Structure 1
Amino acid sequence: MIALTRLNGESFYFNALYIEQVQSNPDTTITTTKGRKFVVKEAEDLVIERMMDFYQKLGLITLKDKAGEEEREA
C-alpha cells in the first residue's frame, strides 16, 4: 500500500497493484485496472517512486547496483 492525499487533504492508502496509469493534467490522476480515477495532491513522479518502492518491497522488481553493467566472475 502507498500513502496518498486527496485534494481535500484527506490521507488514504492505495493498493499500488491496481494502478494502471498515472498522469498529470494538471492534477495527478491515477487510473485503476477497473477504470476508476483518483485525483491526488502528490506529484506524478512521487506517486511513481512510491509505486516502485512498494513493488520492490514485494519482490516484484529488483534494482541493480549499476544499470547496464553485466556481473563479472572473479
Structure 2
Amino acid sequence: MIRLTRMDGTPVYLNPDLIEFIEENPDTLVILSNGKSYLFLESAAIAIDRIVRYKARILHLSSLANGKKYLKKCRGERFQRTTKLNAE
C-alpha cells in the first residue's frame, strides 16, 4: 500500500494495483479500476515514485535469503547427482 494525502489533509493508504490512471490538472486525480476516483495533494510524479518504490520493495523482499537457499540446494543436488553418475 502507498500513502497519499486527500485534499482535506487526511492520509489514505491505497493499493497501487487498483490504479487505472493518474491525471494531474492541477490537483492529482487517481482513478481506480473499479471506477472510483480520488483527489490527492501529492503530484502525479510523487505518486508514481511511491508506486515504483513499493513494487521494488516487494521484489527485493521476495528475493532475499529463502530464494537464494533454494537455488543453492538445487545446484548442490544437481552436482551430487552428476558425480554419482560419473562414478558408476
TM-score (ref. length: structure 2):
0.64
Q: In 2, distance between residues paired with 1:27 and 1:49?
A: 17
| Paired residue secondary structure (2:54) | helix
**Identical pairs, percent:** 31
Aligned to 1:41: 41
Q: CA RMSD in A?
A: 0.8
Runs of 5+ consecutive residues of structure 2 not aligned to the other structure:
60-88
| Paired residue secondary structure (2:4) | strand
Structure with the largest fraction of strand: 1
Between Structure 1 and Structure 2, whose CA radius of gyration is higher? 2
Give the paired residue count: 59
Runs of 5+ consecutive residues of structure 1 not aligned to the other structure:
60-74
Structure with the largest fraction of helix: 2
| Paired residue secondary structure (2:35) | coil
Structure 1 stretches of 4+ with a deviation exceeding 4 A read: none
TM-score (ref. length: structure 1):
0.75
